Amino acid sequence: MRTLWRGIVRTVFWSYDRGTWPYDVMVVVIVLFVLLTPRGWFHDQPPAMGVDANTVQIVSQDPSAGTRIYRIDANMLPADKRASKPTPELERALHDILGSTVSDLKERTFQVRHIEPTIATDASVQYYDVTIHP
């Protein structure tokens, strides 16, 4: 019983010398754990662009036309990408945000059809209403 307890203590405190068979077994177990553990067990995906995904909201959807309108907070974009008029760079950035934050759109193709910026009283963009066609 004492030998078993000593083995457990040495394993927990990693006190085996390098090159011994218990040390090698522990290393192999750790490597197998790292390589064979399913990615979904840890849920450690970083938030998109360092912001909360709640800043993307669905505003409306039209099943007959197959379109949806999402409202994206302008703070999700870097300051140099914010524009008061739609540009190809803005369209690409908003497409990337939608593709990474909206679970229905992840790993699917969709088109940005229309971008409608909403301007605040200080002439800055508050949010974008983005119409997409999945």
Question: Is the confidence at residue 36, as pLDDT, over 90?
Answer: yes
54 and 85 housed in the same domain: yes
95 and 67 both lie in a single domain = yes
pLDDT of residue 87 exceeding 80: yes
Q: Which residue has the tokens 């083995």?
A: 7
Whether residue 48 is predicted with pLDDT greater than 60 in this model: the reply is no
**56 and 108 assigned to the same domain:** yes
pLDDT for residue 24: 92
Residues 52 and 116 in one domain: yes
Residues 63 and 94 occupy one common structural domain: yes
106 vs 52: which has the higher pLDDT = 106
Q: Which amino acid is at 90?
A: L
pLDDT for res 44: 67
Q: Give residues with Cβ within 8 angstroms of 132, minimum separation 6.
A: 67, 68, 69, 70, 98, 105, 110, 111, 112, 113
* Mean pLDDT for the stretch of residues 90-102: 86
Residues 66 and 124 in one domain: yes
Same structural domain for residues 37 and 90?
Answer: no
Domain that holds residue 32: 2-41
Give the residue-averaged pLDDT of 31-47. 80
Determine the 3-state secondary structure of 102 from DSSP.
coil
Asked if residue 116 has pLDDT above 80, the reply is: yes
- Do 58 and 37 share a structural domain? no
Check whether residue 59 and residue 36 sit in a common domain: no
Q: Which residues contact 90 (CB under 8 A, 6 or more apart)?
A: 77, 81, 82, 83, 115, 128
Per-residue pLDDT, 33: 93
How far is residue 55's CA from residue 4's CA, in Å, rounded to a whole number?
55
Are 20 and 67 contained in the same domain? no
pLDDT of residue 35: 92
Tokens of 17: 């010398």
Domain count, the chain: 2
Each residue of 6-24: pLDDT tens digit? 888 888 888 888 999 989 9
Instruction: Report the share of the chain in percent with pLDDT over 70.
Output: 91
Same domain, 58 and 122: yes
